[in-house]
Amino acid sequence: MIISILIDTIELVKWNSIVHIRFIHTPITWRMKPPRVRGLLLFCSTIVLALSVAYQTRSRLALLIPSFSSFSPLSSFFSSSHPITMSYSQERYIAELAVQRASLLTQKVFFEKAKGTVSKDDKSPVTIGDFGAQALIIQAIRKNFPNDEIVAEEEASSLREDKDLSAEIWRLVKDIKLEDEESNNLLGGSLASEQSMLDIIDEGKSAGGGKGRIWALDPIDGTKGFLRGGQYAVCLGLIVDGDVKVGAIGTPNLPVDASTIDASTGAQQEQSTSNGVLFSAVLGEGATSRPLTNSTLAPSKPISMRPVSDISQAVFCEGVEAAHSAQGDNAAVAERLGITAPSVRLDSQAKYCSIARGAGDIYLRLPVKKDYQEKIWDHAAGDIIVREAGGQVTDIYGSRLDFSKGRTLAANKGVVAAPKAHQAQVIDAVKTVLKL
């Protein structure tokens, strides 16, 4: 852990044979030749290692040296006033690149007439885009974080039976790459074979839970929207010990610059260079958006929920599919809040992204069936992006979403996302309408 802190604190940049050492959280920068850099890093690593060993064995050392346990510099450094925090900058970077590369595949499939579908046991369609995007993203996770678990929506059993569909997916996957070679290689480059593609699709079968590092992946969220030509999203979140730490969402059909959303946002989309946004967030570090590209990551900008002084003026959004959210109850909640404007219906976690950047304000997903449990991959990335943008995400009772219960949000019912200042008011309206 301490070595991680050291790595997070120092940034090395090589330029014209000179290595620049920049302390990320201070304005100090050192410039020196590579041999000296190696010596400095070795020295720092030795000191940090010594401190780490001393801290881990402090109770034993205190028996030999009674004053050790009260040794001021060491005890104050490791005291609760200096909490050790983990940075997830590498995880965020890989997640963004992986989602961006997978989005290239989904865009290619989106504008083809034959999307090729199969049906799961619950009759929901799965396209070749779902399978292909899942293979590419899991490959990137396995390349960079080989010991992490993955909870993904799809599995490859149907492809192993349908050889033609498998071959069609492989035709697309083998040619998808980022134009920047270094970025593409960082994600693992090209998959070796069709068989390796099928095998890696099946590596998303983790049971989830409240311990360890678990990635929640929805390769195409909003599959029906994808099929009809509307909004969809490529979603990836990292859950650590039950808490979402990182989220990345690619929305190929959302406009890059949009101050608000309306009915046209959820309608059938045309191919346009002005569409395509990559959203991301890290716990405690805020949320950002940037244009999707086919190469390196584009420059990002911070995003935030817009301030809403009068809840009756809020922009209200909900899912397109009536089977996913009780639209009648949604309308009753809006009426109780005094919102008279018609709701905007969007597929996928594009709804989370829209309210996070201030293009909308409230997102409701009210229960349709008493026994339905939301899937963690449908909410993990969107949850942290909205919360880091200044919003709040809870269930219909006002409880935070609990991602520690496995592959579903078994402890929650429904989803309510709104500005923090108005969350309680929205929850009260929901409880009244649902007679809770």
Positions marked active-site = 130, 223
3-state secondary structure of 2: helix
Strand pairing of 233-240 and 316-318?
A: unpaired
Non-local CB neighbours of 240 within 8 Å, separated by 6+ positions: 212, 213, 214
Residues contacting residue 60 through CB under 8 Å, at least 6 positions apart:
none
Euclidean distance between CA atoms 389 and 287, whole angstroms: 5
Listing DSSP states for 272-299 in one string gives: -TTEEEEEEEETTTEEEEEE--SSSPPP
Helices (H), 23-88: 34-56, 58-64, 72-77
Cα 57 → chain centroid: 38
129 phi and psi angles, rounded to 5 deg: -65, -40
Tokens read off for 315 = 């922009």
Q: What is the CA radius of gyration of the chain?
A: 24
What is the spatial distance between Cα 52 and Cα 220, in angstroms, rounded to a whole number? 43
By DSSP bridging, strand 301-303 and strand 10-15 are unpaired
* Residue whose tokens read 């104050």: 76
Structure tokens at 68: 């050790």
User: Taking a C-beta distance cutoff of 8 angstroms, is the pair 388, 419 a contact?
Assistant: no
Query: Which tokens hold the place of 88?
Result: 């997830």
**SS3 category, 308:** coil
Whole-angstrom Cα distance, residue 66 to residue 68? 5
Full strand arrangement of the beta sheet holding 415-419: 344-345, 316-318, 362-365, 415-419, 391-394
CA distance 324 to 79: 48
